[in-house]
Chains A and B, each alone.
Chain A
Amino acid sequence: MSIISVRDLTKKFGNFTALDGINMEVEEGEIYGFIGPNGAGKTTTLRILLGILKATRGEAKIFGKDAWKDAVEIHRNVAYVPGDVNLWPNLTGGEVIDLFVKLRGSNNKSRREELIERFDLDPSKKCRTYSKGNRQKVALIAAFASDADLYILDEPTSGLDPLMENIFQEYIKLAREEGKSVLLSSHILSEVEKLCDKVSIIREGKIIESGSLEELRHLTRTSMMIQTREPIESLNRLKGVHDIEKRNNTIYFQVDGEELDNVIKYISPFGIIKLESAPPTLEDLFLRHYKGDGGEA
């Protein structure tokens, strides 16, 4: 059974379609990345999963239960960190953490102390004095201090410094070891590449790409730098070759993953002196989609 199962999910705000038929499956023990440009619909999706927004159409299930109707039951095993953590200015961080943990019904004192120490938070300060990063830490500590089966995290590291980001990643890995599932929305690709097993890319309310990192990499282009004894002829007529550039006697270009084999076969007769290839990154894919030519992929 999938932990999260989203089918044909559509959300309209008035006439504006924020989500347009989204599908997504998160399996048990998976760390699932959810990436996309600003306003793509990430937060909207997560809020529907939490039962705070009601879907216009389609189905959103967690643990096999309806995200809207069975919200309370589902939430006993879910930990959530919102993208914008707004806290009560006149409560202290410690009070908020305790409140959050109690409202889920579990209580793990030693975990709480450990987390406060690791994240380097002063729990005796009023929330109004906390910086954005510190407010985020409060939400993260409350999330990790509870024994949830599913973590729903909306850009959880957007305010954290690199040191804290590392600690965050540690706890995510720990959660994975414990067999827990994570849905992580993010803008930070290196983080997604480091942590996630699967990724969905959302743009303008539609999922335009999803799959394991390997599968996605397959869709990306490899950058090549080649020197040959004889000049390569009509490279530009080859399928899957992009952005050809010649400097001195070196050629730079990009190759679609699926055409790599053909291209190498084609150029090797010209006598390769030097060949360098840069691995495909999620960033290339991401940028390509961000720029708006995602439809062709």
Chain B
Amino acid sequence: MNKPFANIAQTIKFILRRDRIRIPVWVLSIAIFTILIALMLPNLYTSSMEREIMAETMKNPAIIVMLGPGYGLDNYTDGAMMAHFMLVFTALATGIMGIMLTVRHTREDEEEGRIEMIRSLPVGALSPLTATIIMITIVNIVLTVIVGFGLYSLGFESMDLEGSFLYGASIGVIGIYFAALTGLFAQLSTNSRSTLGYSFTFLIAAYIVRGIGDIEYEILSLISPLGLILRTEVYVSNNWWPVFATLGQSILLFALSLYLNSIRDLGAGFIPARPGRKYASSLLSSPLGLSIRLQRTSIIAWTVGMYVLGVSYGSILGDLEGFLDTSGVLLKMLPESADYSITERFITMLMTILSILGSIPVLLYVLKLKSEEKKARTAHLLARAVSKNSLIGSYTLIGLVAAPITQLMSVLGLWSAAIFVMDNLVSMDILFKSALAHLPAMWIMVGLAVLLIGYLPNLTGLSWLYLGYSFFVVYMGEMLQLPDWMSNLSPFGHIPQIPMEEFSLVKMLVLIAITAILIVAGFVGYNTRDLEG
């Protein structure tokens, strides 16, 4: 076609129409989250003493790997602290936004045949891709402006207008960069799943490369877009060049993807799909095997992820005493007890948080059954010699077994980091006991998910709500001085706080009994209701 960009304005409008909820949700959550944190953070560290200790902490390699190099530490202002704390995480968030929105309107639309429909109208061959990138650029500009004005309007002395806008532009340009990158991967690969896969792998790699670079080889940090953007040193040096450099790279990526788009057929890609197995492995011969196989990638990723999470929490254990002593607010979040060190008191809270986070994959594994049903794939199994019990049983089993495994991974992660950073090592014994004590609460989550699948398959989202509620009451309960009954509503509120409290076998057995009841009831429901497919 001679007019590769025909009807582009219309295409942009159409995209905005389709995403009229999705886009505001993304933009507002990122903006509000950023501004809220900026509002809270300065209140946590008010005295200059506390700031100095924070500045010291920021020189800890474990922190640098997570957040990037500290800057302006001699005079650690609210702005510098906030930007250092938050920039890389908000940049990750806009990166994810860029990836998700781009895949949706490029390769996914193409795969689903929607681009074919659009292209059958007088719309140019390059219009969908270009419209997507333009739309995301607009979205990120809006985000930049909201965050810029939002941060400035908080009225902190150290958060000036230029710095606030630079902060906004830094995260905005990362959103644009990852949109352009995903646009490129959408040309290279032939399906939306691997486009997502390549883009997220790149995002994670960029984060890791930056971590290594910030500690050892700075050149690596300049190669990674996430490292480069930290060189803006928002609120201290206010360097704009990293923003423009990233923007320049984004334009190059976009130009390349346009070129590739123009020379390929609709539906085709440049990375050929590898031929897969012609025969099923022996794993793939039962509902359990199928379920494990389907979730293989997710299982591996979460198992590794829980270990990494353990390591990152473990790495702050060393600085904990100094860190918490000065941080009044954080200290309030811990249970009170005079007989135990701050670190020991922190361990319980840490294990609870890790158990709640570890419940995420556990729930995901179980709730997979519901999405299988929604996609009309369970009928294939049930139409063969597979009973409903063995089907739901497979998913339940995976959830029940996954719980101790994620706990083990978190503890190992904590432990291996703690070895390096702690002088007085917390005993492995305490960690294990605490992890074990939390298991029944995780199993209750499994039981709840099974129950919902059995009776209310359309409301399985309630189990996420319940988990979120648990997180809230456990995390904020002490600080907000919530009444006890609120935390008692969560299974995690009934877990003994080891080492301060005794390990209680009775409580554990009661929770396990409740789990068993929930699961049995769920099985009964599943056996008596209509299945969608």
Q: Contact size class for B? A: 35 or more
How near does chain A come to B319, taking the closest CB pair, in angstroms? 43
Residue of A nearest to B278 (CB): A94
Q: How far is the CA of A84 from the CA of B382 in the complex (A)?
A: 15
Q: A71, A86, A152: which contacts B382 (Cβ < 8 A)? A: A71
* Interface membership of B481, Cβ < 8 A: no
Q: A103-B285, A125-B273, A128-B193 are in contact. Are A78 and B280 (CB under 8 A)?
A: no
Flag whether A287 is at the interface (Cβ < 8 A): no
For A103, list chain B residues within 8 Å (CB).
Answer: 285-287, 381, 384-386
Contacts of A125 in B (CB 8 A): 273, 275-276
Which of A78, A92, A124 makes the CB contact (< 8 A) with B383? Answer: A78
Binds A, one of B153-161, B402-410, B523-531: B523-531
Q: Is the CB of B18 closer than 8 A to any CB of chain A?
A: no
B191 near A99 (CB under 8 angstroms)? no
Q: Which residue of chain A is the closest to B275 with respect to CB atoms?
A: A124
Q: Which of A53, A86, A91, A105 contacts B376 (CB 8 A)?
A: A86
When each residue 53-97 of chain A gets 1 if its CB lies under 8 Å from chain B and 0 otherwise, what string results?
110000000000000000111011010101010111111101111
| Most chain B Cβ neighbours within 10 Å, of A54, A97, A103, A105 | A103
Asked if A52 and B387 sit within 8 Å, CB to CB, the answer is no
Question: Which chain B positions have C-beta within 8 A of A105?
Answer: 385
A90 touches B530 (CB 8 A): no
Closest chain B residue, CB of each to CB of A82: B379
Determine if B294 and A54 form an interchain contact, defined as CB atoms under 8 angstroms apart.
Answer: no
A184 to B386, CA, bound (A): 23
Cβ distance B196 to chain A, nearest Cβ, rounded Å: 12
Which residues does chain A contribute within 8 Å of B4, judged by CB atoms? none
- Asked if A27 is an interface residue, CB under 8 A from chain B, the answer is no
Whether A102 pairs with B285 at a CB distance below 8 angstroms is yes
Q: Give, as a whole number of angstroms, the nearest-CB distance from A290 to chain B.
A: 26
Q: Mark B60-95, 1 if CB is under 8 A from A, else 0.
A: 000000000000000000000000000000000000
Once bound together, how far apart are the Cα atoms of A91 and B285, in whole Å? 13
Query: A88: which B residues are within 8 A, CB to CB?
Result: 294, 377
> Contacts A82-B376, A84-B376, A125-B275; is A98 near B280 (CB within 8 Å)?
yes
B177 to chain A, nearest CB (A): 28
Contact B279 A98 (CB under 8 A): yes
A54, closest chain B residue (CB): B530
Q: Chain A binding site: helix, strand, loop or mixed by DSSP?
A: mixed
Is A124 in contact with B277, judged by CB distance below 8 angstroms? Answer: yes
A73: B residues at CB distance < 8 A:
385
- Is residue A211 contacting chain B, with contact meaning CB distance below 8 A? no
- Evaluate contact between B280 and A129: CB separation under 8 angstroms: no
Within 8 A of A (CB), among B267-305: 273, 275-281, 284-287, 290, 293-294
Is B533 interfacial (CB-CB < 8 Å)? yes
The verdict on B264 contacting chain A, using a C-beta distance below 8 Å, is no
Do A95 and B275 touch across chains, with their CB atoms under 8 A apart?
A: no
Give bound CA distance, A293 to B290, whole Å: 49
B30-50 Cβ-contact flags toward A at 8 Å (1 or 0)? 000000000000000000000
Q: How far is the CB of B193 from chain A (nearest CB, A)?
A: 7
Alpha-carbon separation in the docked complex, A52 to B391 (Å):
13
B530: which of A52, A102, A104, A139 is its contact (CB, 8 Å)? A52
Given contacts A88-B377, A103-B286, 12 further A-B contacts (CB under 8 A): A50-B382, A52-B533, A82-B376, A87-B380, A91-B294, A95-B279, A95-B280, A98-B279, A99-B280, A99-B290, A103-B384, A125-B275
> 8 smallest A-B Cβ distances: which pairs?
A98-B280, A92-B276, A80-B383, A124-B275, A103-B384, A94-B278, A95-B280, A102-B285
Residues of A within 8 A of B (CB): 47, 50-54, 71-73, 75-76, 78, 80, 82, 84, 86-92, 94-100, 102-105, 123-126, 128-129, 139, 152
Interface pairs (12), CB distance under 8 Å: A75-B385, A80-B383, A88-B294, A89-B193, A94-B279, A95-B279, A98-B280, A102-B285, A103-B286, A128-B191, A129-B190, A129-B191
